[in-house]
Structure 1
């Protein structure tokens, strides 16, 4: 039986879906096959807690799930490795086995890169792709500039995001987090986007130095069917501004641009 939890005004379920030899833990609505196109969220650095507010808003309008990958806090243990490739493979397999039809696939931060690769591997399973604050622009693929950008962004963030991500970070440990971050740094999402055939929305924030507005617009231009949307906030804007974020995600359910 699923575990249920009341979050905001929506009843969210915690479910384990069988994907190959593993069971991927997710939070959201119980049934993904009724009520419209599902929204599926992929968190950055394996810390789903900060996306719960956005998930709850999406669940008010239709089926929605937040994938807990690689699953640092799952009592059953992580379901896959921390590298971008391992995470994208797991998400692609979940898309093939669980929803029963195309979804709006949305990832945030390094999770945006995971979602992008999963969409490229599973084109028939993704109706629309939303990349929220995708990392990393070429200058930030080196440690020094990345550290400066991380500091500039951190001073703009709401302190409330810390308790939302800290439990997952502690469960992961520095080695796993560093493995994930380094694999994302080595990635070039701008080279993958031209191969994605579905509509792509690249969603960024005004005060985000990790995924600045210029990078957001550049990625949207790289997509065959792309658009850029810039909202207020910093890197963790889905936590601080869940209503604005969910409005974009829910709008993507019927997107056709």
Structure 2
């Protein structure tokens, strides 16, 4: 992959006076361009959060991105692997998305703490990025990480999926309709993701780690988070936190998720959990 370079700013979305504006940027990496939706705090940034959404649905994580910016963290939501052209920069595979995220990170300044955060299939991409980036993150956050072994057959996954979205908001419907318009690429991404074993990948994590999900998230139940926690033996600090909501609680409970990220950047009192 060729050396990345930063492209020009493209579009600024309006926002209420008390909310950070969404600014769309494009970064040229090799033969493609990574689209990012960025939310900057009003004052000096305390950290950079690189957020990889599940199924490349940037709208789902926008509330959490805004909440992070309100708390003083610059948040960039990467549209990877990208559903629609020209944002479609790589094959529909979490590992490839992670490689492109790592390349995007090489274009950013390294004078701020880096938080690498992924949701759902984006958590798999974040895992891949964390082990390939030349800028080790100060914190890795895996939110609603998929897929538990029982869901790695598509028939079982189809049965479990409805129970993972029991506490969602009707305001998520427009974003969900995007998946229908790109059903083939979405299906390819899911098929690729079910063959990955995050319980093996997480063993290579050497940075502080937070594992989280909603209380009603059947995709990432408590025992699965605990299993990933126990496998991450190389992480210097790791914890499991269950928050309100279900699978898409980055949309329904952004404040709680953002507070968790901020807390993860603070030094932990006492010895870390073994």
For the residue of structure 2 that corresponds to 1:56, the secondary structure is helix
Q: Which has the higher contact order (CA 8 A, sep 6+)?
A: 1
Partner of 1:226: 238
- Structure having the larger proportion of residues in helix: 1
> What TM-score comes out, normalization by structure 1 length?
0.90
SS in 1 for 2:14: strand
Shift of 1:87: 0.9
CA shift, 1:180, in A, is 0.4
Structure 1: which 4+ aligned runs deviate by more than 3 Å?
A: 99-102, 253-257
1:81 partner SS = coil
Structural mapping, 1:19-38, within 5 Å: 19-29=29-39, 35-38=45-48
In structure 2, the residue matched to 1:163 is 174
RMSD of Structure 2 on Structure 1 (CA): 2.0
- Does residue 213 (structure 1) correspond to residue 222 (structure 2)? The answer is yes
**Alpha-carbon shift at residue 214 of structure 1 (Å):** 1.2
Aligned residue for 2:47, secondary structure, equals coil
Q: Normalised by the size of structure 2, how large is the TM-score?
A: 0.85
**2:147 — aligned with what?**
136
Deviation at 1:207, TM superposition (A): 0.6
The reply on whether 1:179 has 2:191 as its aligned counterpart is no
8 Å Cα contact 1:70-1:80 kept in structure 2: yes
Q: 84, 91, 95: which one pairs with 2:101?
A: 91
Relative distance call for 1:227 and 1:97 in structure 2 (3 A) is same
**Aligned 8 A contact 1:205 1:213 in 2:** no
- Tell me which structure has the larger Cα radius of gyration: 2
Residues 19-77 of structure 1: per-residue CA shift (max 9 Å, x gap): 2332211111369xx62220111010111111111111111212111111122245x34
Query: Could you tell me how far apart the structure 1 residues matched to 2:143 and 2:40 are?
Result: 24
Q: How many angstroms apart in 2 are the aligned matches of 1:83 and 1:246?
A: 27
The yes-or-no answer on 1:6 pairing with 2:14 is: yes
- Cα distance in 1 for partners of 2:161, 2:20 equals 33
